[in-house]
Amino acid sequence: MSFGIYKPGQGYWVRTMSAVFLGVLFLVGAAWAWDQAGAAPVPARAYDFTVSIVDGQPVGDAIVVLERVGTDLSYEVVGSATTEGYNTSTERTGKLVLKDLSFQVKDMDYTKVTRVRSEDPGKAFTVMVERRTAIPLIPRLYLQAGVAGFVILLGAIVVFWFTGSNKKMVDFLVATDGEMKKVNWSTKKEIIGSTQVVIVASVLISLILFLIDIGFSNFFRMIGVLDS
Write down the domain spans for the chain: 12-38+140-181, 44-136, 186-228
Where is pLDDT greater, at 225 or 48? 48
Question: Distance (Å, rounded) from C-alpha 3 to C-alpha 205?
Answer: 59
Question: Distance (Å, rounded) from C-alpha 81 to C-alpha 62?
Answer: 8
Confidence of residue 220 (pLDDT cuts 50, 70, 90): confident
Over residues 161-206, the pLDDT tens digits come to: 999 989 999 999 999 989 888 888 888 999 999 999 999 999 999 9
CATH architecture observed for domain 44-136: Beta Barrel (2.40)
DSSP 162-193: IIII-HHHHHHHHHHHHHHHHS-PPPHHHHHH
Q: What is the mean pLDDT of residues 14-31?
A: 96
Question: Distance (Å, rounded) from C-alpha 28 to C-alpha 67?
Answer: 47
What is the structure's pLDDT at 8?
A: 87
What is the structure's pLDDT at 3?
A: 61
Nearest-CA neighbor of 33 among 129, 131, 194, 143?
143
Q: Among 6-15, 46-55, 76-85, 198-207, where is mean pLDDT lowest? A: 6-15
What is the structure's pLDDT at 132?
A: 94
What is the structure's pLDDT at 149?
A: 97
User: Within a 10 A sphere around the Cβ of 97, how many other Cβ atoms?
Assistant: 20
Over residues 97-137, the pLDDT tens digits come to: 999 999 988 889 999 999 999 988 888 999 999 999 999 99
User: Within a 10 A sphere around the Cβ of 98, how many other Cβ atoms?
Assistant: 24
What is the structure's pLDDT at 1?
A: 46
Confidence of residue 87 (pLDDT cuts 50, 70, 90): very high
